[in-house]
Homo-oligomer: A and B are copies of this chain.
Amino acid sequence: MARLNMVEAIDQCLLQEMQRDERVIVLGEDVGRDGGVFRVTEGLFERFGPQRVIDTPLAESGIVGMAIGMAIAGFRPVAEIQFSGFAYPAYDQLVCHAARMRNRSRGEFTVPLVVRTPYGGGIRALEHHSESMEAVFVHVPGLKVVVPADPYEAKGLLASAVRDPDPVIFFEPARVYRAIRTEVPEEPYTIPLGKARMVREGRDVTLIAWGAQVRIIREAAERLAAEGVAEAEVVDLRTLSPFDHETVIDSVKKTGRAVVVHEAPRTGGFGAEVSAQIMERAVLHLEAPVVRVTGFDTVPPLAKLEDYYQPDVEAVVEAVRESLRF
């Protein structure tokens, strides 16, 4: 099996989905001849031509709004927003139309749209290029939110997103893009949306994350095991909406402790929802309060201070120790 990085895995997925279903089209800024600023759509333009791989004008609301129309008329657009920090101009189209057309028309018109966008920090980028605002999309009824953690996951989850009959926003952790390789089967496969992944079994504490933080909690788990501190269970949520509370709750019922990690600002981040659901569904099983390890309620800092902002392995290990000490 080939070992691909996440850029290659997503590129391959797009290629295969476009082959599989000619209604699938890709659009966005620089996705065509340039192959995307991260090269995620590399080769698609040469393969499928400008009709199916569309370089758009610089207009995020326009990209999503136009894609909504394409989807209504029977296509399956995969729109790229160049960085998730530039998705806000499209927020209105996502909230008011992509997520509601089905409801408004009682199922007569639907929006099978995927919005792909690189997200998160850790890449020493300019302002607005390190955003992690998934929570403001999770709160939108009618929108699905997916965050893959590694290349294998990315390919399978994106295939499901493309085939899904409803709008999905697909956050690609930019720091993972070229950071790791995993085995990725050549043939197409899907990973169902709405089902979390048990990455590592354990009995002492449940570590919960998504996207780039999955690697961090996994390393933290290994360190904790190596140091004989705890056997941690590692859960990758994969999709934040719909949220698979069962996997989380089952695990917490077993371990009695939970640490949830995200780089998004703390207040109102998805960690709060995870914590609230554990409260509601498993409070009697808790040995310690759920701990959140998160970014701060600040603007994500520029490169020189980024390491202070990002949750890291040590911070997670510390949080587990804190939980164990409780």
- Please tell me which one of the listed residues B140, B280, B298 contacts residue A141 in the complex, with CB atoms under 8 A apart: B298
Interface residues of A in 46-87 (CB under 8 A from B): 61, 85
CB of A72 to closest CB in B, whole Å:
17
A96 and B85 contact, CB distance less than 8 A = yes
CB interface residues, A 244-288, toward B, < 8 Å:
264-265, 267-273, 275-276, 278-280, 283, 286, 288
Copies of this chain, complex-wide, total 2
Interface centre among A95, A104, A139, A286 (most CB of B within 10 A): A139
* Cα separation A241 to B297 with both chains bound (whole Å): 10
For residue A291, CB closer than 8 A to chain B, the reply is yes
Report whether A103 and B268 are in contact in the complex, using a CB–CB cutoff of 8 Å. no
10 A-B residue pairings within 8 Å (CB atoms):
A136-B136, A139-B268, A141-B265, A243-B267, A272-B275, A272-B276, A275-B280, A276-B279, A280-B292, A283-B288
A127 at the interface (CB under 8 A from B): yes
Q: Which residues of B contact A278 (CB under 8 A)?
A: 279
| Contact flag A276-B290 (CB < 8 Å), given A92-B91, A135-B268 | yes
CB neighbours of A155 from chain B (8 A): none
Which bucket holds chain A's interface residue count? 35 or more
Which of B91, B99, B270 contacts A91 (CB under 8 A)? Answer: B91
Flag whether A89 is at the interface (Cβ < 8 A).
Answer: yes
Determine whether the beta carbon of A139 is less than 8 Å from that of B292.
no
Contact with B along A88-113 (1 / 0, CB 8 A): 11011001100110011000000000
CB neighbours (8 Å) of A297 from chain B are 141
Is B272 a contact of A138 with CB atoms below 8 Å?
no
Q: Is A196 an interface residue when CB atoms closer than 8 A count as contact?
A: no
Shortest beta-carbon contacts, A-B, top 7: A88-B92, A275-B276, A139-B268, A136-B136, A272-B276, A272-B272, A283-B289
List the B residue with the shortest CB-CB distance to A90.
Answer: B92
Say whether B104 contacts A95, CB under 8 Å.
no
A275–B273 Cα distance when bound, in Å, is 8
Is B290 touching A280 in the complex (CB atoms < 8 A)?
yes
Q: Shortest distance in angstroms between A101's beta carbon and chain B's nearest beta carbon?
A: 10
Partner of A139, one of B100, B103, B135: B135
Task: State in angstroms the CA–CA spacing of A280 and B196 once bound together.
Answer: 24
A139 touches B265 (CB 8 A): yes
Known: A136-B136, A136-B139, A272-B275. 15 other contacts (CB 8 A): A88-B91, A89-B92, A95-B133, A96-B128, A104-B299, A133-B139, A135-B139, A135-B268, A139-B265, A141-B265, A141-B297, A141-B298, A268-B268, A268-B270, A280-B291
CA of A141 to CA of B297 in the docked complex: distance in angstroms? 5
- By the criterion CB–CB under 8 Å, are B299 and A103 in contact? yes
Given A85-B96, A88-B95, A268-B270, CB of A299 within 8 Å of CB of B142: yes
Q: Which residue of B lies closest to A292 (CB)?
A: B276
The residues of B that contact A89 with a CB separation of less than 8 Å are: 61, 89, 92
Please name the residue on chain B nearest to A128 by beta carbon. Answer: B96
- If the complex has contacts A267-B273, A289-B283, are A298 and B139 also in contact, measured as CB distance less than 8 A? no
